[in-house]
Amino acid sequence: MREPVLAPAPLQTFSGDALRADAPPFVILNPASNGGRAAKLRKVIERALLGGRGELALTTAPGDATRLAAQAAQAGRGIVVVGGDGAIHEAAGGMIAAGVSVPFGVVPAGSGNDFALHVAHAPLDPLQALDLALTAPVSPVDVGVVNGVVFVNALSVGLDANVAARAEHYKRLGLSGRALYMSSALTELLLHYDRCPTLTVQYDDAEPLHEIFALVAMSLGPTYGGGFLINPTADPQDGLFDVCMLSKPSLLRALTLLPAVERGKHIGQPETRIVRCQRITLASDHPAHAQLDGELMQAPRFEVNLLPGALALRRGPAPVAR
């Protein structure tokens, strides 16, 4: 579990004049992503950056991407992250903590890649993704902040946060991707379903809700957890969180809902509420787990706010719906 990335001062949106024309983009590679498989991309990325296209730096410990991204932003250099959701989470938090927004690109190299694939619309091919991350037009996308901590894709409290905690353990057993999240989810459902929290939820100016929730998940992009389509219509540019609130059903019902959530088929089910808001508070009688971009935190109260257009993302075209 990484240290949380704090979001301090108000963000100053970059302008083209603020970028240093004499300094190439700063490319941050997390070789530990996807169980260390991302390290194999080092030579490929180095060759692709020849000719002054970018400067490569490798992270060696949690927090490195935060520090490196903050330094690059302060120097007016564009940032590219080669890694998974955790590395992107760190680097985006570092940029925002620096108080300066510069062009931000991503190359998917993690196990889930929810932000890279479904928000940045990056291709899986690393060279194609790098070209997009260096040259695609900049689109401002929204960012969330919970208890002062930045997240760029999703925050959830409840069963799936407990699943994220379980997944941290299963990662050490060599599981990744869909197998990691499905096995973690089944363990929590079958053995620890009684840990679903009782929450008081207040969003914008609506009346508070107080009940036992299987999960409350707010997102900027449509997927999390390695492709679970939690909020299918979420738009990271609309200035709103999409929030899925799933009242706790029976265990048998929960086992049927889990695959439905993966495909986005939980929408319209009686346990499901979908709302859109700019701010939301979740309070519990005791500290509860939360996951943000796959990272973990724990608190009895979560204050969540939106930073509209705070990330200047180099973004590909949205895939054509079939």
* Distance separating alpha carbons of residues 130 and 121, to the nearest angstrom: 12
- In the chain, the amino acid numbered 220 is L
> Where would I find the beta strands (DSSP E) of 229-271?
241-247
Residue 143 tokens, joined: 């960012």
3-state secondary structure of 267: coil
* Distance separating alpha carbons of residues 44 and 41, to the nearest angstrom: 5
Q: What is the pLDDT of residues 226-276, one digit of tens each?
A: 888 999 999 999 999 999 999 999 999 988 887 898 899 999 999 999 999
Averaged pLDDT, 101-123: 95
* Distance separating alpha carbons of residues 288 and 299, to the nearest angstrom: 6
Partners of residue 304 on adjacent β-strands: 146, 280
* Distance separating alpha carbons of residues 158 and 230, to the nearest angstrom: 14
**Would you place residue 20 in the very low, low, confident or very high pLDDT band (cuts 50, 70, 90)?**
low
Averaged pLDDT, 46-63: 96
Tell me the C-alpha to C-alpha distance, in Å, between residue 194 and each of 158, 209, 213, 241, 286.
11, 20, 11, 28, 14
* Distance separating alpha carbons of residues 118 and 88, to the nearest angstrom: 13
Averaged pLDDT, 70-93: 96
Element (H, E) at 181: helix 177-192
The predicted structure's pLDDT at residue 21: 53
Residue 106 tokens, joined: 């991503």
Query: Is pLDDT at 292 greater than 80 in this prediction?
Result: yes
DSSP 108-149: E-SSS-HHHHHTS---SSHHHHHHHHHHSPEEEEEEEEETTE
Helix and strand totals (H; E) in the chain: 8, 13
Helical axes 177-192 vs 251-263, angle rounded to 10°: 160
| Percent of the chain whose predicted confidence (pLDDT) is above 70 | 92
Look up residue 237 and give its DSSP letter. T
Query: Is pLDDT at 94 greater than 80 in this prediction?
Result: yes
Count of CA atoms in the C-beta half-sphere (13 A) of 239:
1
Of 18-27, 171-180, 185-194, 293-302, the range with the highest mean pLDDT is 293-302
In the chain, what are the domains? 16-151 (3.40.50.10330), 154-304 (2.60.200.40)
| Percent of the chain whose predicted confidence (pLDDT) is above 90 | 74
Burial of 278 (0-12, 13-18, 19+ CB in 10 A): middle
Q: What is the largest CA-CA distance in the chain?
A: 61
Q: Where are the alpha helices (DSSP H) in the chain?
A: 42-48, 64-74, 85-98, 114-118, 126-135, 159-171, 177-192, 251-263
Look up residue 141 and give its DSSP letter. E
Q: What is the pLDDT of residues 168-224, one digit of tens each?
A: 778 778 777 677 777 887 888 889 899 999 999 999 999 999 999 999 999 999 999
Averaged pLDDT, 52-62: 96
